[in-house]
Amino acid sequence: MSDNAIEKRVPSVIKEKGQYLLAFGIIVSMLAVTNIPFLVIFFFGVFAYFVIKLFAGGPKADNREIFEFYLSANEILRDDDRRWFGFELRETIERGENIVRRMAAAPPLVYFALGALYNKLGEHKSAVKYLSRIVEKSESDESAYVYPTPELRQYVRVLRRIEREPADAPLTSAAIRSLERARKLRGATLLENSREKFSNGELSPGQIAAAALPLGVKVDESAVPLVYSEEIVRNTNSVTTEVKTDPEIGDQARKDSASDPFSDRKPITELLHDIYDKNPR
């Protein structure tokens, strides 16, 4: 064979499967030599197969989480009349953050989706962090990923299959195309919008809700805006107690309650406590 001849290489998948089969064959031969019943060897082989599938399924599970994140992010970022709760945005953002923390080289589209979600949530500092990485840094472009990790290689393999055969996963394909289009057309606009609002000190809805709580109530700024606070309920109970201790007001209240057909109803504070007692956290 000449030096310029192209050498045919065995695909890595065949090499990997061949190693597994060779190791399995050696183990089965050793067990057969020791006169272990064939039924035991069969069950051992089934167990070994499932163990191998369990450990080999890691990248596939990671890829599934990435594409599910794309679906959720595109649904939230889509321009329609739907109103999203803050905790829904935070749950989707947390899924994207987990992908970024776990993968050494997360896909650029994940960073853009995270930045756009933070922009929609009103947390513009985090939005600038992710959007500037995508819009202004050339090393975040797909062409800069020349040494892929196994997770990234598996992700790209699934992505290309979806692009070639969009009918197999129409919703995922549409979500990816929509996010890529938004990244191309609106990435710079979202970045400038977040920078302007962050420089002006604009607060997110969660920070505004936390600032409106009574003094002494400690709330994590990154938490979901509170709708119910036990501190507020305790303050309401104290006010109710003070009113009932006044005898004149108490006599008038009893007269009013006698003519009130709804006087037997529990106050809202007791109902809230009953609900939370019946549904322990």
Q: Is residue 104 part of a domain?
A: yes
Encoding tokens for residue 26? 């050696």
- Say what the alpha-carbon torsion angle 48, 49, 51, 54 is, to the nearest 10 degrees: 170
**130 in the same domain as 92:** yes
**271 in the same domain as 139:** no
Q: Pick from 80, 67, 83: which is nearest to 177 by CA?
A: 67
Range from 30-39, 81-90, 226-235 carrying the lowest mean pLDDT: 226-235
Hey, is 230 helix, strand or coil?
A: helix
pTM for the model stands at: 0.58
Q: Is residue 3 part of a domain?
A: no
Q: Residue 235 — very low, low, confident or very high, per pLDDT cuts 50/70/90?
A: very low
Q: How far apart are CA 95 and CA 73, in angstroms?
A: 10
pLDDT attached to residue 176: 96
pLDDT attached to residue 31: 75
Q: Is residue 6 part of a domain?
A: no
pLDDT attached to residue 195: 94
**136 in the same domain as 149:** yes
Hey, is 19 helix, strand or coil?
A: helix
Beta carbons of 88 and 121 less than 8 angstroms apart: no
Query: Which domain-ending residue is among 175, 207, 239?
Result: 207
Q: Is residue 128 part of a domain?
A: yes
pLDDT in tens, 112-125: 999 999 999 999 99
**69 in the same domain as 44:** no
Q: Is residue 256 part of a domain?
A: yes
**76 in the same domain as 119:** yes
DSSP assignment of 238-256, as one string? HHHHHHHH-HHHHHHHHHH
Q: How far apart are CA 281 and CA 272, in angstroms?
A: 14
Q: How many residues are recorded in the chain?
A: 281
pLDDT in tens, 133-146: 999 998 888 999 99
**200 in the same domain as 158:** yes
Q: Residue 186 — very low, low, confident or very high, per pLDDT cuts 50/70/90?
A: very high
Count of the separate structural domains present in the chain: 3
Beta carbons of 121 and 204 less than 8 angstroms apart: yes
**69 in the same domain as 179:** yes
**238 in the same domain as 174:** no
pLDDT value at 152 more than 70? yes
**199 in the same domain as 148:** yes
Q: Is residue 110 part of a domain?
A: yes
Beta carbons of 240 and 234 less than 8 angstroms apart: no
pLDDT in tens, 242-264: 434 455 545 554 555 555 444 45
Q: How far apart are CA 20 and CA 14, in angstroms?
A: 10
pLDDT attached to residue 118: 96
pLDDT in tens, 68-118: 999 999 999 997 888 999 999 999 999 999 999 999 889 999 999 999 999
pLDDT attached to residue 74: 96
**67 in the same domain as 44:** no
Q: Is residue 262 part of a domain?
A: yes
The residue range of the domain holding 43 is 13-56
Q: Residue 50 — very low, low, confident or very high, per pLDDT cuts 50/70/90?
A: confident
Q: Is residue 220 part of a domain?
A: no
Range from 44-53, 57-66, 208-217 carrying the lowest mean pLDDT: 208-217
Q: Tell me what the pLDDT averaged over the chain comes to.
A: 75
**130 in the same domain as 243:** no
Sign of CA dihedral 207, 213, 219, 224: negative
**153 in the same domain as 32:** no
